Amino acid sequence: MLKIGIIVGSTRPGRHADAVAQWVKDVADVRGDAEYEIIDLVDFPLPHLDEALPPAMGQYANDHTKRWAAKIAEYDGYVFVTPEYNHSTSGVLKNAIDYLSAEWNNKAAGIVSYGSVGGARAAEHLRLILGELQVADVRQQVTMSIFTDFENFATFTPADSHETALGVQLDQLVAWAGALRTVRVAEVAA
């Protein structure tokens, strides 16, 4: 069975990313087409990138990097839950992505974003970052407004239409993750 990690892309106090990630998992678990797991960056405290060698070399010196690499390597694909901070994704998510290289390669990703304009700019920036790491991001995006999908800007209350959009995204993600698994298996066999 495919494994999909749902990455909580914020560690900020009072964040909404954990509630959004739990919603993604609740919707996804009903499907039965993959094993879904939340990966909370709070559980992987990474300082600003502190590896002496570039991640592409795969020679990690620090225990926190090795632990993070082992966790990310487990998955066939990811759903990135990202807030929008200053027209981009969060610094903590960018840092976590930058720590690794091969662990991301030839995997699929979906993006669920939120912010004043649905987090659309954060998602677009994240797509550029993922492309460099050979992560194939699916077309369907789920964008949620901090004005309409969070009661009093605090309690996550997603519109019903978001569940439909998430279903389409997960359909695409599972298909791509399965296809890219064959690419990774072929690379190992070569």
Segment 158-180 mean pLDDT: 97
In angstroms, the Cα distances linking 1 to 40, 76, 165 are 22, 10, 23
Average pLDDT over residues 12-33: 97
From the number of C-beta atoms within 10 Å of its C-beta (0-12, 13-18, 19+), residue 168 rates as: middle
- pTM score: 0.96
Mean pLDDT (whole number) for 90-113:
98
Given the structure tokens 């209350």, which residue do they identify?
Answer: 157
Structure tokens at 42: 């709070």
**Cα separation, 181 vs 188, whole angstroms:** 11
pLDDT number for residue 140: 97
Per-residue model confidence (pLDDT) at position 185: 83
Residue with tokens 């920036």: 125
Is residue 110 within 8 A of residue 139, CB to CB? The reply is no
Q: Is the pLDDT of residue 190 over 90?
A: no
- Residue pair 55/100 in contact (Cβ under 8 Å)? The answer is yes
> What mean pLDDT do residues 126-134 have?
97
**Band of pLDDT at residue 188, cut at 50, 70 and 90:** confident
Q: How does the average pLDDT of the chain come out, rounded?
A: 96
Please tell me whether residue 20 adopts helix, strand or coil conformation. Answer: helix
Residue 79 in 3-state DSSP? strand
179: its two tokens: 């296809």
Kindly list the structural domains of the chain, giving each domain's residue range(s) and its CATH number in brackets, ordered by start. 3-189 (3.40.50.360)
> How confident is residue 36, by pLDDT bands cut at 50, 70 and 90?
very high
